[in-house]
Amino acid sequence: MINQESLKKDLIELSPKEFFIKHIVKSHNWYFVDYLHTPSDEVLDKLDRFYEIVSSQLQISFHSLQMVGSAKTGYSLSPDKLLHPFHEETPESKSSDIDIAIVSEKWYRLLWDELRNIKRNQYVRPYQRITSSIFRGFINEKDILELDPIREKWFSNISPINIKLQDELQIVHPITYRIYRSWEDLEEYQIGGISLAKQRMEESNV
């Protein structure tokens, strides 16, 4: 079982890459095990079905997906919310999201082409943020959703996924997606975030 103290200990003792492999890449999944209380002999089948639903709809490889963030570990690794637990909605804050990394050069290129087409014809308010992320090899769903011409296309692909995940697997929390050009880009982003979390914890003695 993943807990806050074990994550803190590993952040201190492991290198960022070792932490990434142990807690992000490997198969233990906090949301399925500790939140949904999936029986141990059913967890892998449930995870496989999760990835099957997403990959089938997006027409990408079954192995092109990775759950990340607090749904994977149970606690946030964001430097601003370091080790805060995955939580439900409250009057003060919205619920935690389930963060899914889509590793697909096809989708990355498709969305980047769409974004460039939009830029030719209209002012794009988050353009600097978008180009900054693209330079690092990923595209945030929240940026896609700010652009009317592409929002509907994205929803037409994602909405059936979210409905199936809720109906079949009882996934009740909001799902957010980030599209990566390659596994190397995903690893670089995650290890960078883990490094910042490690630094922040050491500085503040969390």
Between CA 178 and CA 184 the distance in angstroms is: 14
**CA-wise closest residue to 102 among 36, 22, 189:** 189
pTM of the prediction? 0.90
Residue 205's pLDDT is 67
Which two three-digit tokens encode residue 111?
């969305």
Neighbours of 159 (CB within 10 A): 11
Looking at residue 122, what is its pLDDT?
66
A 10 A CB-CB count for 59 gives 10
pLDDT at 1: 63
Match 């999936």 to its residue by tokens. 38
Name the 3-class secondary structure at 160: helix
pLDDT, residue 147, reads 79
Residue 123: per-residue pLDDT: 63
Q: Each residue's pLDDT tens digit in the chain (206 positions)?
A: 678 899 999 999 999 999 999 999 987 899 999 999 999 999 999 999 999 999 999 999 999 999 999 999 999 998 888 899 998 888 888 889 999 999 999 999 999 888 888 777 666 666 778 788 989 999 999 888 887 778 888 999 999 999 999 999 999 899 999 999 999 999 999 999 999 999 988 887 65
Beta bridge mates, 98: 175
Handedness of CA 117, 155, 60, 140 (dihedral sign): positive
